[in-house]
Amino acid sequence: MKKSQKNKTQLKAVDFFCCSGGVTNGFRKAGIDVLGGIDIDERYKLTYEKNNKGATFIHADIGQYQPEDLAETLKIVPEMDNMVFIGCSPCQYYTTIQTDKTKSSQSKLLLEDFKRFVDYFRPGFLFIENVPGLESKVGSPLSKFKEHIKTIGYVFDDDVVNAADYKVPQNRKRYVLIATRVNNEIKVPVPKRKAQVTVRQAIGHLSAILAGHKDSNIRMHWAGRLEEINLKRIIKTPHNGGTRLAWKDDLELQLKCYEGKDKTFSDVYGRMYWDLPSPTITTKFYSITNGRFGHPEQDRALSIREGAILQSFPASYRFYSDSLVIIARMIGNAVPPKLAQAIAERLIQSFNHYGSIQN
């Protein structure tokens, strides 16, 4: 195929709620031309654009941003059969994890804002990724969204998948929906052979560092500091999967909130297992107080680079901020690039099938 023909038939994409660029990176690796990403947090801009050359970061509140503005900025038009709209909106409101929903309630209707752009542009393909709770929680706008896209000509498939089945070294269950209006059917890709990557395979090669230190040779291999009491706790926690139960009878180390509650939040203060995928990487993976984020054998929580690797970001991916907390948020909120790449490859297959029918 001549280059000019290939450019006309290549899938293009717009990454709504793009964060630091996890989906964009995965889609680009698969061969999709991601034109740009939109996010309300301008702190993602440098990370997004530096790592995804040629993709434009649009700093905008999607609730206020207009389709006409997007058309002008990215030079796109309605009814593009080779266009993918990605709508992986913030998901804390519908998570099954017990958290305070006050702040996140402001984001619960972002799917409605995404729908405005779908209605205006009617792209050839759609991709949504979110927490499984988006599908099951009372009041979720998902059911209305699915019914709506059917009425305007889309077919779709959806499923709850585990990112670990797509070579992401992390157990991360997510709701996935893909849709198209250019084919009669489309299916979420589910690997037949689920060769999972372990923590050891993913990060076992990295050098040992202390809590609060940075490795001078490995970019972003930076671990958060530990208070003295928490350093004592992690030292007493057995290697390779140990839990806080190892020090539950230590009067100095045991927390009052966990006295007599051995099965409550049992992963908190725990260490990861070397030979299993990691637990879900959240925005607080740098802290042992927020989950099983202790290194399997070193006396610290995960480093920034380790968290990024477990999210399947390439080693070359650089996160731009002086704040460990902000970088961890960029990583934890991202869609794992390897999961996004698997979805992108399925969309390309579907589009190529459409192209063969048209020819």
pLDDT recorded at residue 137: 61
Question: Is residue 128 in a domain?
Answer: yes
The closest alpha carbon to 287, from 312, 324, 241, belongs to 324
Would residue 190 count as lying in a domain? yes
**Helix (H/G/I), strand (E/B), else coil: 240:** coil
Active site residue 91: yes
pLDDT digit string, tens, across residues 82-107: 999 999 987 543 333 344 434 434 44
Q: Is the pLDDT of residue 4 over 70?
A: no
Q: What is the DSSP letter of 38?
A: E
Residue 142 lies in a domain: yes
What 3-state class would DSSP assign to 286?
coil
- Asked if the model's pLDDT at residue 9 lies above 70, the reply is no
pLDDT mean over 225-246:
97
Look up the pTM and report it: 0.91
Copy the structure tokens of residue 289.
């107080």
Least confident of 3-12, 108-117, 262-271: 3-12
Q: How far apart are CA 130 and CA 88, in angstroms?
A: 6
- The four Cα atoms 322, 57, 59, 282 give a dihedral, to 10 degrees, of -50
Q: What is the rounded CA–CA span in Å between residue 136 and residue 175?
A: 10
In this structure, are residues 233 and 244 in contact, taking their beta carbons and an 8 Å threshold?
A: yes
Quick check: is 208 in a domain?
Answer: no
* Token pair belonging to 248: 């539950």
Q: Which residues, other chains included, contact 309 with Cβ-Cβ below 8 Å and sequence gap of 6+?
A: 169, 202, 203, 315
**In this structure, is residue 36 part of a structural domain?**
yes
The number of domains in the chain is 1
Report the pLDDT averaged over residues 301-309.
98
Domain holding 31, by residue range, is: 3-196+335-358
What is the pLDDT of the chain when averaged over all its residues?
90
Percent of the chain with pLDDT over 90: 82
Give the per-residue pLDDT at 264.
87
Per-residue pLDDT tens for 247-294?
A: 999 999 999 999 999 988 889 999 999 999 999 999 999 999 999 999
Distance (Å, whole) CA 181 – CA 158: 15
* Active-site residue, from 18, 88, 91, 257: 91
Percentage of the chain with pLDDT > 70? 89
Strand, helix or coil for residue 23:
helix
102 assigned to some structural domain: yes
Residue 87, domain CATH: 3.40.50.150
Split at pLDDT 50, 70, 90, the class of 353 is confident
Residue 100 in any domain: the answer is yes
